[in-house]
C-alpha cells in the first residue's frame, strides 16, 4: 500500500495522500477489486496512474432448453495477457480452465460465472443468469 502522508514516485515529486473518511487503512489485506478501484481513482485525481486490470464479458445464451448442452465464452480485454480462467455454475467450481465452458443443465435455471485473472494477478469476475425455456434456440457449437 502507500505511506500515510506522501510518497516519492520514480521521476516524480511528492504527492500528498489525503487522509479522509474514504482513505484506505494502511495494513495488509488480500486483493480486492473495490479497494484497487478506490486507490486507482484517488491517485488518478492526483495525476498518478495504476496498472489497469482486465475487463470481460460472457458470450453465450441467456436462455436454453431443458437438459441442453451449451457453451459460454469469456471475452477478456485489457490488463496483461495471457489470462487464466476459473468457471463456476451456481457457485460450484467447474473443471474447465480455458476461455470457454461447456455445460449440460439439469432443467433448472442457473448462473454461469467466470473469474478472469491477468498475468499480473489482477482478477475480474463476471456472470450471466440463464433461464430454461422451451422456445430457446438449440445450442450449436
Which CATH number do you get for residue 127?
Answer: 2.60.40.10
| Domain assignment present for 139 | no
| Domain assignment present for 22 | yes
- Are 59 and 73 contacting, i.e. CB atoms less than 8 angstroms apart? yes
| Domain assignment present for 12 | yes
Q: How many domains are there within the chain?
A: 2
Are residue 85 and residue 117 in the same domain, yes or no?
yes
Mean pLDDT of 97-112: 96
Range of the domain at 32: 6-45
Q: What are phi and psi of 126, to 5 degrees?
A: -130, 155
Are residue 59 and residue 124 in the same domain, yes or no?
yes
Are residue 58 and residue 102 in the same domain, yes or no?
yes
| Domain assignment present for 141 | no
Cell of 89: 455454475
Are residue 37 and residue 67 in the same domain, yes or no?
no
Distance CA 118, CA 116 (A): 7
For residue range 44-78, what is the model confidence (pLDDT) as tens digits?
777 776 677 899 999 999 999 999 999 999 999 99
Are residue 58 and residue 36 in the same domain, yes or no?
no
SS3 130: strand
Q: Please tell me the pTM assigned to this model.
A: 0.66
Which tops the pLDDT comparison, 5 or 43?
43
- Are 87 and 111 contacting, i.e. CB atoms less than 8 angstroms apart? no
For residue range 31-52, what is the model confidence (pLDDT) as tens digits?
677 777 777 778 777 777 667 7
Amino acid at each position: 500500500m502507500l505511506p500515510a502522508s506522501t510518497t516519492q514516485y520514480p521521476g516524480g515529486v511528492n504527492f500528498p495522500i489525503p487522509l479522509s473518511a474514504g482513505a484506505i487503512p494502511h495494513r495488509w489485506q488480500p486483493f480486492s477489486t473495490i479497494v484497487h478501484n478506490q486507490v486507482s481513482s484517488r491517485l488518478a485525481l492526483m495525476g498518478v496512474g495504476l496498472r489497469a486490470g482486465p475487463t470481460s464479458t460472457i458470450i453465450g445464451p441467456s436462455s436454453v432448453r431443458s437438459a441442453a448442452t451449451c457453451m459460454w465464452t469469456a471475452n477478456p480485454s485489457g490488463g496483461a495477457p495471457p489470462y487464466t480462467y476459473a468457471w463456476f455454475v451456481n457457485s460450484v467450481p467447474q473443471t474447465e480452465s480455458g476461455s470457454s465452458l461447456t455445460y449440460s443443465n439439469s432443467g433448472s435455471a442457473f448462473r454461469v460465472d467466470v473469474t478472469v485473472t491477468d498475468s499480473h494477478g489482477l482478477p475480474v469476475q463476471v456472470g450471466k443468469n440463464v433461464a430454461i425455456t422451451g422456445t430457446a434456440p438449440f445450442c450449436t457449437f
